[in-house]
Chain A
Amino acid sequence: MTRSLAGWVFVAPSLAVIGLFFVLPVAAGLALSFSDFDLYALADLRNLRFAGLDNYAHVLALPLFWKALGNTLYFVLVGVPLSIGLSLACALLLQSPLARCKPFFRTALFAPVVTTVVAVAVIWRYLFHVRYGLLNAWLADLGLAPVDWLGDPAWAMPSIILFSVWKGFGANMIIFVAALQAIPLELYEAARIDGAGRWRQFLDITLPMLGPTLLLVGVLTMTGYFQLFAEPYVMTQGGPLESTVSVLYLMYEEGFRWWNLGRASAVAFLLFVLMIVATRGLMHLARRTEEPQ
């Protein structure tokens, strides 16, 4: 076997699977989004019609789509900074030379990441229970009124944000820990000799050195959060009053509940476009903030 042929043979299985089970369906999805494939068409393909951009027009005119978009953006814009902030704070604590029992804390803080979303969503659903949940019990101990976490449209999304942050902050924390370890200690020494306090050191050394990592973590977390689905599915079924319907949840309902596959595909592609725009935007923003320095 020549080396060149060997190369192709080695990548062939992976490429075959990716081509067949990813690229092909994506292309087919694009095609589907231009047709009105639905339950009637599932029964008899003669009921299928070419729809051009009708699905996209319909989805963009659908109030529920904009609500889903708004919900998803709310989730991303609040959840991502919260998650990154918490991860960074915990990473700094873990990295502190004063911290003892590091392995224990590292494992404890990371544990939620490996858990199954469905299982922990079930747990948190009970924690959020309006009458018998622990959260409201503690609020009552503090003398505050109970909150209808999952029943009040105003509180449902914040509840899901809280849950998602709890679930995911450990992953980013580990990445930050690795990045913090890479910062040379001499920089901090030099700054201390110059008389800079801890906060100054953080702003002038830590943050800039973490720049690329912050960007990476930001992009990863953001793309993950745009794909919000399991939490609303298990905890709220999109409710109350559609306040936790995310774009992906909308796609699932259109596609797998009502079998409007054409329309659901249009939603999926719109989500894709949204994610690309947001990622590009974030990277552009990162480059802009780097320049003055």
Chain B
Amino acid sequence: MLPRRRAFVTSAACAALGLAGCGRGGAGAPLRFWAMGREGEVLETLLAPLLREQPALRVRVEKLPWSAAHEKLLTAFAGDATPDIAQLGNTWIAELAALGALQPLDAGAMGLDAADHFDGIWRTNQAGGRLLGVPWYIDTRVMFYRRDLFERAGVATVPGDWPGLVQALDALQRSGVAHPLLLPLNEAEPLLALALQQEEPLLRDNGRYGNFRSAGFQRTLVFYIERFQRGHAPFLTNNQIANLWQEFGRGSFAAFISGPWNIGELDRRLPADLQGRWSTAPLPGPVPGSRHGASTAGGSSLVVFQRSRRRQEALQVLAFLGRPQTQLHFHALTGNLPPRRSTWALAPLAGERRAAAFLQQLELAKPTPAVPEWERILQEMQLQAARAQRYGTPVAEAAATLDARVDGFLTKRRWMLDRGAAA
């Protein structure tokens, strides 16, 4: 009995010690690349040519869901467990830059230059005068709509201004679509896009205080809440829609606001007979008579983390993904829009009908405030809007509450700015 027990104890001890090693790889391990959503799914296919060119290079792709990505990136930073390369929503660059988490990049060494990119997007990738990210794809939010349902209601195309949109939604309701415009109550992007259309900025004084009490934001909030009150938008969160594309195909709603990845998704998921029946259009603007309004200047960038010791290989991968041919391939796989003007000029993309709405919209795309607390502020904005919608709170009061909360989030930033420490 004794030897058996001893062996048991010894092997348990060995297992325990061995466990300490299980986890991150040592030298000779593949480059770790974190990507989200659809981009994560296609990344291995996209990188295949590079891996054939460079057999010594190995890349391990980790897919994260968007809903947990922000949290996971920060946890990885806090736990010293960051990957080598990661895809980042470009609104997160400011946050990670403030943490000193990213390595500065050399555009020239990767064959990229500022002139070949859209100005607003290039700027969101910079902090403290250095380039910290390379744009991977750009996006903005436009209206996806069912052309056939619009035509049935007598509306030729998505109107260019808010009053026109209201009339169109009324017409759609009369023609049988009970709630024509999908605005999920837990998604901040549609409200954000509408809010950015106003003149007044969302934060004031270099991001020290909230500016949601401005007349412009209040106008947007009124417009937003009214869509629910008039029944134009259903009372749903995106958890409650079993399957967005299925419902769009079934005609449960006639329009929704989303980004370019849905071009690829709808192409893949809708049955053949529905393929020609939908299209995209820029968002309507608040000013009557305008051709269209502004939208978010979003997208994803690729960054290299400060703690990565594989800078050369990481830059190789970034350079590859920045080539116009690769970007075109990426667009074909996902529907995402390339950030380089030279890629847009290439043949297949130049004539793409549905991408045209995005190109139009990008002319009027505005970036969000580049403060590290932005993610939290955005969530709070949507929460207050959803609350005001459900409980009928007067808009002025909701805006004041929102400002009070946002000012609270920005307390440390104010302290650091006054101390001269932050950018």
Which A residues contact B (CB, under 8 angstroms)? 36, 38-40, 42-44, 47, 129-132, 148, 150-151, 153, 236-237, 239-242, 256-259
Instruction: Check if B376 sits within 8 Å of A40, measured CB to CB.
Output: no
Q: Considering the chains assembled together, what is the distance between the CA atoms of A47 and B77 in angstroms? A: 17
Which B residues contact A (CB, under 8 angstroms)? 70-71, 74-75, 77-78, 95, 98-101, 185-186, 235-237, 239-240, 242, 372, 376, 383, 386-387, 390, 412, 416, 421
Instruction: Check if B387 sits within 8 Å of A241, measured CB to CB.
Output: yes
Q: Considering the chains assembled together, what is the distance between the CA atoms of A38 and B240 in angstroms? A: 34
- In the complex, which residue of chain A has the Cβ closest to the Cβ of B67? A237
- In the complex, which residue of chain A has the Cβ closest to the Cβ of B71? A257
- In the complex, which residue of chain A has the Cβ closest to the Cβ of B74? A259
Which of B77, B235, B383, B416 lies in contact with A42, CB distance below 8 A? Answer: B77
Instruction: Check if B78 sits within 8 Å of A38, measured CB to CB.
Output: no
Instruction: Check if A151 sits within 8 Å of B100, measured CB to CB.
Output: no
Q: Considering the chains assembled together, what is the distance between the CA atoms of A154 and B16 in angstroms? A: 48
Shortest CB distance A116–B (Å): 18
Q: Considering the chains assembled together, what is the distance between the CA atoms of A148 and B221 in angstroms? A: 25
Q: Considering the chains assembled together, what is the distance between the CA atoms of A43 and B100 in angstroms? A: 6
Taking CB atoms, residues of chain A closer than 8 Å to B100 are 43-44
Instruction: Check if A40 sits within 8 Å of B237, measured CB to CB.
Output: no
- In the complex, which residue of chain B has the Cβ closest to the Cβ of A252? B71
Instruction: Check if A38 sits within 8 Å of B71, measured CB to CB.
Output: no
Taking CB atoms, residues of chain B closer than 8 Å to A242 are 383
Q: Considering the chains assembled together, what is the distance between the CA atoms of A32 and B387 in angstroms? A: 33
Interchain residue pairs with CB less than 8 A apart (9): A40-B416, A150-B240, A236-B239, A240-B185, A240-B186, A240-B386, A241-B386, A257-B71, A259-B74
Q: Considering the chains assembled together, what is the distance between the CA atoms of A42 and B75 in angstroms? A: 11
Shortest CB distance B194–A (Å): 20
Instruction: Check if A256 sits within 8 Å of B71, measured CB to CB.
Output: yes
- In the complex, which residue of chain B has the Cβ closest to the Cβ of A58? B408
Which of A42, A151, A237, A257 lies in contact with B240, CB distance below 8 A? Answer: A151
Q: Considering the chains assembled together, what is the distance between the CA atoms of A242 and B412 in angstroms? A: 25
Instruction: Check if A240 sits within 8 Å of B242, measured CB to CB.
Output: no
Q: Considering the chains assembled together, what is the distance between the CA atoms of A259 and B75 in angstroms? A: 9
Instruction: Check if A151 sits within 8 Å of B99, measured CB to CB.
Output: no
Instruction: Check if A239 sits within 8 Å of B186, measured CB to CB.
Output: yes
Taking CB atoms, residues of chain B closer than 8 Å to A131 are 240, 242
Shortest CB distance B220–A (Å): 20
Contact A150 to B416, CB < 8 A, known contacts A42-B78, A42-B99, A242-B383:
no
Q: Considering the chains assembled together, what is the distance between the CA atoms of A253 and B274 in angstroms? A: 41
Closest 9 CB pairs of A and B: A43-B99, A43-B100, A151-B240, A257-B71, A130-B240, A42-B78, A258-B376, A241-B387, A132-B242
- In the complex, which residue of chain A has the Cβ closest to the Cβ of B185? A240
Taking CB atoms, residues of chain B closer than 8 Å to A257 are 70-71, 74
Shortest CB distance A115–B (Å): 22
Instruction: Check if B78 sits within 8 Å of A47, measured CB to CB.
Output: no
Shortest CB distance B327–A (Å): 33
Instruction: Check if B376 sits within 8 Å of A129, measured CB to CB.
Output: no
Q: Considering the chains assembled together, what is the distance between the CA atoms of A241 and B387 in angstroms? A: 7
- In the complex, which residue of chain A has the Cβ closest to the Cβ of B419? A47
Taking CB atoms, residues of chain A closer than 8 Å to B390 are 153, 241
- In the complex, which residue of chain A has the Cβ closest to the Cβ of B77? A42
Q: Considering the chains assembled together, what is the distance between the CA atoms of A131 and B239 in angstroms? A: 12
Instruction: Check if B242 sits within 8 Å of A39, measured CB to CB.
Output: no
Q: Considering the chains assembled together, what is the distance between the CA atoms of A47 and B416 in angstroms? A: 8
Q: Considering the chains assembled together, what is the distance between the CA atoms of A234 and B176 in angstroms? A: 36
Instruction: Check if A38 sits within 8 Å of B387, measured CB to CB.
Output: no
Taking CB atoms, residues of chain A closer than 8 Å to B185 are 240
Shortest CB distance B182–A (Å): 14
- In the complex, which residue of chain B has the Cβ closest to the Cβ of A258? B376
Shortest CB distance A252–B (Å): 10
- In the complex, which residue of chain A has the Cβ closest to the Cβ of B413? A40
Q: Considering the chains assembled together, what is the distance between the CA atoms of A184 and B240 in angstroms? A: 53
Shortest CB distance A26–B (Å): 19
